[in-house]
Structure 1
Amino acid sequence: MLLYIFLMQYYLMEFDKLLLKRYVLDNSTRYNGIPNLESILGRIVIDNPELKKEIKKLRKVLEKIISEVEEMKLEEQKEELEQLGGPIKKVHEEEKEMIPLLKVKHDFVVRFAPNPNGPLHLGNARQAVVNWLYRNIYKGTYILRYDDTDPKNKIPMKEAYKWILEDLEWLKIKPDKIYYSSKRLNIYYKYFRKLLELGKAYVCTCDREEFKKLREKSKPCPCRELSIRKQINRFEKMLNHNFKEGEAVGRIKTDLKDKNVSVRDWPALRIIDKPKHPLVKGKYVWPLLDFASAIDDHLMGVTHIIRGVDLQLSRNKQLYLYTYLRWKYPIIKLQGKFSVANAELSKTKMREGIENGIYTGYDDVRLPTIKSFRRRGYYPEALINMIKEIGPKIRDVTVSEEYIASFNRKLLDPLANRYFFVRDPVQIKIINPPKDTSVKLPLHPDYPDRGFRELKISSTFYISKEDFLNYRGKIVRLIGLYNIRLDRKAQFLGKQLLPYPKIQYVPEKGVDMKILLPDNTLARGLAEKDITKLKPKERIQLQRFGFVYLDVVRKDYIYGYYIHN
């Protein structure tokens, strides 16, 4: 293995084009013939860290090789990759291209802390999976903590607690421990009282706008200098609901000259007069996230936190609290913002969309929720593999639907048997056809051992409206049968296999089928009868249409979800 690494590094330093082409082909054949420059570069540099200084030169050479590979068909790429030695073995065999964390000496504890104001979406899933991968690498502890302490703006949903567990289970994640922040309110009160006693916190009753003006000028408000006894008395009044919403706020003392205004005497606790919480009643003082998570991370023994770049200010705030209480702050790893092109990742907006009738529910096929991916028939391994590929990069990442689909397609393509479906069917009749009464077609062209399906045929067929309009008057080949000049009365032109466009068809006796598309519209048409032998939750490929996840299968009707092409 060491000799292999040495030789690989030597040749790469010399920019051996055959070896670089092997890297490109290895990447491209894994993703349906589409090479990704950044992924290839990342793989090479991970295998050979010393090449970082040559990255510009390496990029130029790779760009040229990629342009050559893009001209090749997928089968040609696979063939050449085998000639060059096949897929490149990973130098690091732990988790795929995961970036190691620092200072892992003994215990390793991570937490995934979603707000249960809806099910998990793909952005949440990234956080959940990355933490789980690290937990497995370092044989640590994985905590699921429901950050459910905002019963006003991000109101928890009772059913979401269960949804999140179901989503995690689907993603092959089994939390070692589960906590509910809303059930720990007395713990937060205890530590805020302790901070008051230390003179490191106070209860502010200033007008909100007046406090804001003072803070911007780096000046303390009058409440800051009150005695500890008065502060504790005020806090008791908060807990007894003698103060109402907006009349008092619990604050942590910080440097009033901190360069970031939001860090200056940041709020830890606030009053909510009418909290809407599914699990907690009779509590009116609620912690803000930076305070609750800081307390919990310490008490739960969290050693490493993987958080978004947008939350890096949390560390600046929480360090004050950790210093006052003489605690050791966890190691932080930042990762960039994650988004899905042309998709909504805000749970609040999803909820509004559902309430306003824009979406049918959290499993609406237009939403990037885990519930939606499950409903559409995605494999969990596809999303896990995609998240592995992206890793916890610090730069922002935007993925397309096609990029997500490429990981699922790799798993699905060899498993899904092939069938025919015609959308918006148009009937045609073949003039003077052969006397064939049936046609045998392979269930999968790459796996002949799976057998065949047999279609009973006559001179009447149905084809899709799109094919009829595109090829009317032209010569086409009915897949597995013969050539015709397409029209409503189509002319038989022989069985010789010639390079004409191939179209699918359904014999005269087909089955009604509806398919829910990604834009929430229905594709209606006819399917071959053999599909009625299948069961719900099976995945198939409708040739020249796409992969479909079956939901309802009856003798006279089929309903399914479009997965992707």
Structure 2
Amino acid sequence: MDDELRDRVEREAEKHALLNAVKHESDANVGAIMGPLMGDNPDFRPHGDEIPRIAGGVIGEVNDLEYEEKRERLEDLAPEELAEIEAEDEADEHDLPDLPNADEYDEIRMRCAPNPNGPWHVGHARMPAVIGTYRDRYDGWFCVRFDDTDPETKRPDLEAYDAILDDLDYLGFEPDATYRASDRLETYYDHARELIEMGGAYTCSCSGEAFSELKNNGEPCPHRDKDGETVRSEFEEMIDGEYESGEMVLRVKTDIEHKNPALRDWVAFRMIDTPHPREEASEYRCWPMLDFQSGVDDHLLEVTHIIRGIDLQDSAKRQQFVYDYFGWEYPEVIHWGHVQLDAYDVKMSTSTISELIEQGELDGWDDPRAPTLKSLRRRGIRGDAIVDAMVGLGTSTSDVDLAMSSIYAENRDLIDEETDRRFLVREGNQLPLGGSPPDEANPPLHPNHEDRGVREIPVGDSVMLESDDLPQREARIWLKGLGCFQFTRDTLQYTGEDIDVVREGDVDVVHWVPADESVPVRMRTMEGDVRGHAEPGVGNLDSDEMVQFERVGFARIDRHESDDEGGAEETVAYYTHP
């Protein structure tokens, strides 16, 4: 490494050490800054063996400073980054505002109300992340209530109930209670009967088109003034399944001249011919619409605060009519914008992902190309990282962009220090060795933790290098953990020079694997499968173990398998992130 580059490394290491120390009001350490340091300076990566040592010296000097000295130095080096840290300090520790009127309630009670039509995609994680965080902050209560009262257009998937609870567990939350709305039909019927008795609902046999025309013109439906006995009778006939789909609905009587046509005499119950997939609910044909079912449940479950999308503002207004009839107090409501996710070619939609799986375009919900929580979990991304990234979005009513890089950064902070290093060569090129190199290479398992020991990599007669690392003829390269070689006559000739040639000269540092004893690897990534070879020890790693393939990225070991003929074993790994 030349003097100019060394100076840059020292300056950047000092900045990142100060950022880490000031943000956490504690001493910095090498492990905490290496990820951000290398991420901001990708040209440092070829010198990965040297960076921790240089950074360690700088960090020692930073840690000798008092807090105010650190802050003043950071203000000189990176005033904008310091301002961001101080702005974060002024904000709530969870990046979330206080819940409105929280002090007026004996207990904060919230609900997560998924539609169980498939496992969760990444965007779904925002709701439980925020609700779970609020629950913990206020020592409150939250439930999972499966809003599964649409067996037709949003047909429940029987496997999704447990899959969603499994996703919630992955995120690190356990609900205080779990409900299925399809178990509560009789409760909704009873409330509908009460509403009819109050004169707040009527049965309507208008076609959808006919009612829409009346509604848009502010004209009442001819069934609006039916006598109560007829309404009661026809609603019981709906419950008994005596009408076909589209033949009869129950409407909540609102204001037929309301300025918002969407709120005029909205449908509370309809007939659905398609049986519910749950056997316990398969006999029902009269189903509540979401606004009625959810509104009743929120009251009965004593929900104090509701978080919902900005596009559902009309839901609160519809439900308010029902609450007014019953004399109930409506919960506090927070509306937020949608999460928009980058990095994926697949649309973040449960129905779209399900279709791609059915068509064979995706292997399943945990395919690395799928924007699902099951995919992130299989890739080795921790639920805590997703929660931290989601909470960081706050509760803005504007649509928010979530960069996967923010989840990766959170995850890197969680796993970097505990994850051992290994070599993986993708689509490698084989070169013979000459000049009597050592029989075994011993790179460290982790550059920051000498106590973990070293790897034992047999060298053999030849090595594999990545295509981009192939040296020019007569050029020297440093094989990590092994030594210096010169490329001469299609052979890597061992020179025996020490690490000073890297520090002082233009010698690239590259990773490698022994050609004869490497382990075939299939690494599953968001862009498709990548094949390569890893150092021998990778073949002995346990499933679910995390590794960092040096100069490639983090990966989770998934399994070891043989080919269809029972031949050589292959290790399957899932790429996590850089």
- TM-score norm. by structure 1 comes to 0.83
Matches within 5 A, 1:175-324: 175-279=175-279, 280-324=281-325
Corresponding position: 1:561 with 2:574: yes
Which residue, 28, 32, 36 being the options, matches 1:32?
A: 36
> Residue in 2 aligned with 1:405?
408
Q: Offset of 1:115 from its aligned partner? A: 0.8
Q: CA deviation at 1:329?
A: 0.2
The one-letter code matched in structure 1 to 2:101 is K
The corresponding residue for 2:491 is: 489
Give the Å deviation of 1:306.
1.2
Equivalent residues of 2:485, 2:492 under 8 A apart: no
Q: Give the 3-state SS of the residue equivalent to 1:552 in structure 2.
A: strand
* 1:95/1:137 contact within 8 Å kept: no
| Contact map agreement 1:484 1:492 (CA 8 A) in 2 | yes
Identity %: 33
Structure 1 residue 355 corresponds to structure 2 residue 358: yes
In the alignment, which residue of structure 2 is the partner of 1:157?
Answer: 157
Q: How much does 1:100 deviate?
A: 0.6
Distance 2:397 2:59 in 1: 33
Partner secondary structure for residue 192 of structure 2: helix
- Report Cα offsets for 1:11-65 as digits up to 9, x if no partner: xxxxxxx9xx9699749969825999xxxxxxxxxxxxxxxxxxxxxxxxxxxxx
* Distance of 2:383 and 2:185 partners within structure 1: 35
Alpha-carbon spacing, 1:220–1:464, altered in 2? closer, same or farther (3 Å): same
Q: Matches of 1:487 and 1:155 in 2, distance apart?
A: 67
In structure 2, the CA distance between the partners of 1:435 and 1:164, relative to structure 1 (3 Å rule), is closer
**Mapped partners of 2:117, 2:180: distance in 1:** 13
Q: Which amino acid aligns with 1:460?
A: S
Indicate if the aligned counterparts of 1:97 and 1:391 stay in contact, CA closer than 8 A: yes
User: For residues 426 and 97 of structure 1, do their structure 2 counterparts lie closer, same or farther at Cα, with a shift above 3 Å needed?
Assistant: same
SS of 1:118's equivalent in the other structure is: coil
Mapped to 2, the partners of 1:141 and 1:253 lie a distance apart of: 33
* 1:532 counterpart = 2:532: no
Whose RCO is larger (CA < 8 A, sep 6+)? 2
Question: SS of the counterpart of 2:155?
Answer: coil
> How far does residue 277 in structure 1 lie from its aligned partner after superposition?
2.1
In the alignment, structure 1 residue 335 sits paired with structure 2 residue 357: no
Distance 1:512 1:532 in 2: 6
Where does residue 517 of structure 1 map in the other structure?
A: 524
- After superposition, give the CA deviation of every residue in 1:440-484 in whole Å (9 maximum; x if it has no partner): 21111112121111222234111123433x756644321231132
Partner of 2:159, secondary structure, is helix
Partner-residue secondary structure (3-state), 1:85: helix
1:437 matched to 2:434 = no
Letter of the structure 2 residue corresponding to residue 413 of structure 1:
D
User: Per-residue CA shift, 1:212-240, capped at 9, x if unaligned?
Assistant: 11111111110111111111122122112
Retained in 2: the 8 A contact 1:22–1:81? no
- Say yes or no: does 1:454 pair with 2:439: no
Residues 424 and 465, structure 1, Cα contact 8 Å, conserved in 2: yes
What is the rounded CA distance, in whole Å, between the counterparts of 2:34 and 2:432 in structure 1? Answer: 43
1:272-318: CA deviations, max 9, x gaps? 01234224111101111111000000001101111111212111111
Amino acid in structure 2 at the alignment position of 1:32: P
Partner amino acid, structure 2, of 1:215: K
Corresponding position of 1:478: 479
Q: Name the SS for the 1:163 alignment partner.
A: helix
What's 2:391 paired with? 388
Contact 2:337 2:396 in 1 (8 A): yes
User: Shift in Å at residue 109 of structure 1?
Assistant: 0.6
Q: Which residue, out of 377, 382, 385, partners 2:380?
A: 377
The residue type paired with residue 159 of structure 2 is: E
- Name the SS of the counterpart of 1:334 in structure 2: strand
Distance 1:349 1:394 in 2: 25
SS at match of 2:164: helix
Distance 2:253 2:294 in 1: 18
Contact kept, 8 Å, 2:427 with 2:531, in 1: the verdict is yes
- Give the whole-Å Cα distance in 2 for the aligned partners of 1:79 and 1:388: 33
Q: Secondary structure at the match of 1:354?
A: helix
Which moved further from structure 2: 512-521 or 117-126? 512-521
Structure 1, 530-539 or 486-495: larger mean CA deviation: 486-495
CA 1:35–1:494 in 2, change beyond 3 Å: closer, same or farther?
Answer: closer
- The more displaced of 373-382 and 80-89 is 80-89
1:169-223 deviations in whole A, cap 9, x for unaligned? 1222111111110011111111111111111111111121111111111111101
- State the distance in 1 between where 2:310 and 2:20 align: 31
SS in 2 for 1:364: coil
Residue of 70, 90, 97 corresponding to 1:85: 70
1:500-546 alpha-carbon deviations (Å, 9 max, x no partner)? 22111111333333233333622212111122332111000111111
What CA distance in whole angstroms lies between the structure 2 residues aligned with 1:203 and 1:189? 14
The separation in 2 between residues aligned to 1:30 and 1:194, in whole angstroms, is 64
CA deviation after TM superposition for structure 1 residue 392, in Å: 2.4
Kept in 2: contact 1:514–1:522 (CA 8 A):
no
The Cα of 1:252 is off from its aligned counterpart by 0.9
Q: Is the 8 A contact 1:552 1:559 kept in 2?
A: yes
> RMSD of the TM alignment (CA)?
3.0
Q: Which residue of 2 aligns with 1:54?
A: none
Aligned length: 509
Partners in 2 of 1:304 and 1:450 — Cα distance? 49
Q: Do the aligned partners of 1:382 and 1:408 also contact (CA within 8 Å) in 2? A: yes
Alpha-carbon offset, residue 166 of structure 1: 1.2
Give the match's secondary structure for 1:224: coil
Comparing 118-127 with 486-495, greater Cα deviation is found at: 486-495
Q: Residue type matched to 2:303 in 1?
A: V
Query: 1:249 touches 1:269 (CA, 8 Å); kept in 2?
Result: yes
Paired residues of 2:474 and 2:486 also in contact (CA < 8 A): no
Counterpart check, 1:102 vs 2:100: yes
Q: How many angstroms apart in 2 are the aligned matches of 1:34 and 1:248?
A: 65
| Superposition TM-score, scaled by structure 2 size | 0.82
Change (3 A) 1:260 1:153: same
Mind listing any 5+ residue stretches in structure 1 that lack a counterpart? 1-17, 37-71
1:126 deviates by: 1.0
- CA gap of 1:488–1:246, structure 2 versus 1, over 3 A, is farther
Contact 1:515–1:562 at 8 Å: present in 2 too?
no
Do structure 1's residue 425 and structure 2's residue 428 form an aligned pair?
yes
How much has 1:561 moved relative to structure 2? 0.7
Give the residue type in structure 2 aligned to 1:453: R
Show CA shifts across 1:355-389 (max 9, x none): 11111111111112111111111112111221222
Task: Specify the alignment match of 2:79 in structure 1.
Answer: none
Match of residue 28 from structure 2: none
Out of 126-135 and 503-512, give the one that drifted further. 503-512
Per-residue deviation, 1:547: 0.8
Distance in 2, Cα, partners of 1:156 & 1:441: 52
State the secondary structure of the residue aligned to 1:445.
coil
Q: Which moved more, 1:525-534 or 1:279-288?
A: 525-534
Structure 2 counterpart of 1:461, one-letter code: V
Residue 254 of structure 1, CA deviation:
1.4
Structure 2 residue matching 1:442: 3-state secondary structure: coil
What are the residue-to-residue correspondences of 1:109-148 with 2, within 5 Å? 109-148=109-148
> Contact 1:428/1:487 (CA < 8 Å) preserved in 2?
no
How far did residue 427 of structure 1 move?
1.1
Give the distance between the partners of 1:309 and 1:155, measured in 2 at CA.
24
Q: In terms of mean alpha carbon deviation, does 323-332 or 478-487 score higher?
A: 478-487
Change (3 A) 1:314 1:81: farther
Measure, in 1, the Cα distance between the counterparts of 2:314 and 2:148. Answer: 20
2:469 to 461, 467, 470: 467
Structure 1 residues 118 and 80, CA, compared in 2 at 3 Å: closer, same or farther?
farther
- Where does the alignment leave 5 or more consecutive residues of structure 2 unmatched? 1-14, 25-31, 41-50, 72-81, 562-567
Specify whether residues 98 and 551 from structure 1 end up closer, same or farther in structure 2 by C-alpha distance, changes over 3 A only: same
